[in-house]
Structure 1
Amino acid sequence: MTIFYFVAFLSLFFAVMTVVSKNPVHSVLYLVVTFFTFTIHYILLNAQFLAVVNFIVYMGAIMVLFLFVLMLLNMNEDSEPMKSALLKVMGVIAAMCLVVTLAGSYKFLHTSAPVEIKNQEIGLVGNLGKVLFKEFLLPFEISSILLLTAMVGAVLLGKKDKKKA
């Protein structure tokens, strides 16, 4: 249980550092570490598939893409427009909504009983595969055909026309 609280503290710390950091590259790196702590949480909750997907997709692909885009943008203070007063007011309202939500969840956590997992095999990849390929085979195959069609369309749109060149 102490591991959970330590990782939760790290998650909150690096999430705050993501928002507070002035350098966008440092902010993305803090977000990568935050996603890594989420992966540890998934492992502690016996959800190995979600941990692997979070590690590969979010940390490995999306966040690295964000990092490369930020490095290519070459952002500096001169090119950033000044923030308007309306944007600052909207930020304060969003922060107040977050504080109210956190206060409500704190009250809920201390009034409810702890959740116990009755089936320890729920988050394992083998069980997910059995459910995916038995009960949800048709939607799975339809989504794979949809993704294949989108990939072929992207290749055709990206292909240069030889007649015009």
Structure 2
Amino acid sequence: MEQIIFFIVASIAVASAVSFVFAKNPMYAILSLIVTMFSIAALYIILNAQFLGIVQIIVYAGAIMVLFLYILMMLNLSKEDESKKQNLMKFIGVFSAGLLLIGILGAYRGFTFQPVAVDVRADIGLTKNLGRLLFNEYVLPFELASILILAGIVSAVLIGKKDL
């Protein structure tokens, strides 16, 4: 039963990713990307990585995709803007995609498959274990990262503050 659910969710992820690539309307492309992100989060949860699944939903599907939608609505793209693209930019895009394809094929050519024995335990991806590890062994780096984030927030507020 778990494999059937996995394949259904994986096929939804692949279908929505293909829909994202071939969508003509940017709004439909962003919405299909949101479906892809939710599907990937479901795959993480099926694979017993609950923390990654929740982070995927909160960070990617929640925050970043909403930001993309907001920017897309602010830009108000239309078909008239599409015709203004120069042929040089299209050529550069095709050329860089070709270089990427050559790089991937070169990396794949040197790849040899060797099966690795994996220790499968049921409690690997649980948030309880991650929290125990973060707040016991790595509490100092965790707190230093939080102080760094707080300093960044205070700096952004001070830079953005208008002089009164």
Q: Sort the TM-score into its range (normalised by shorter chain).
A: 0.7 to 0.9
* Pairwise CA distance, 1:23: 1.1
* Pairwise CA distance, 1:87: 2.2
Partner of 2:100: 94
Cα gap change, 1:12 to 1:95, in 2 (>3 Å): farther
* Pairwise CA distance, 1:82: 2.7
| Alignment of 1:7 onto 2:9 | yes
Identical residues among aligned pairs (%): 43
C-alpha separation in 1, matches of 2:12 and 2:159: 44
**SS of the residue aligned with 1:122?**
coil
* Pairwise CA distance, 1:96: 5.6
Cα gap change, 1:147 to 1:113, in 2 (>3 Å): closer
C-alpha separation in 1, matches of 2:22 and 2:59: 25
* Pairwise CA distance, 1:94: 3.0
Partner of 2:86: 82
Partner of 1:39: 41
* Pairwise CA distance, 1:97: 5.0
* Pairwise CA distance, 1:59: 0.9
Partner of 1:121: 123
Partner of 1:148: 150
C-alpha separation in 1, matches of 2:9 and 2:153: 38
Runs of 4+ in structure 1 off by over 6 angstroms are none
TM-score normalized by the length of structure 1: 0.83
Partner of 2:55: 53
C-alpha separation in 2, matches of 1:149 and 1:86: 40
The RMSD of aligned alpha carbons is: 2.4
Partner of 1:157: 159
* Pairwise CA distance, 1:92: 3.5
* Pairwise CA distance, 1:60: 1.0
1:108-136: CA deviations, max 9, x gaps?
4xx7478561x211111111100001111
Question: Which range is displaced more, 79-88 or 56-65?
Answer: 79-88
C-alpha separation in 2, matches of 1:4 and 1:83: 42
| Alignment of 1:29 onto 2:31 | yes
TM-score normalized by the length of structure 2: 0.84
5+ residue gaps, structure 1, are: none
Q: Which residue identity does 1:86 align to in structure 2? A: I
5+ residue gaps, structure 2, are: none
Question: Which range is displaced more, 78-87 or 119-128?
Answer: 78-87
C-alpha separation in 1, matches of 2:56 and 2:25: 25
C-alpha separation in 2, matches of 1:65 and 1:83: 29
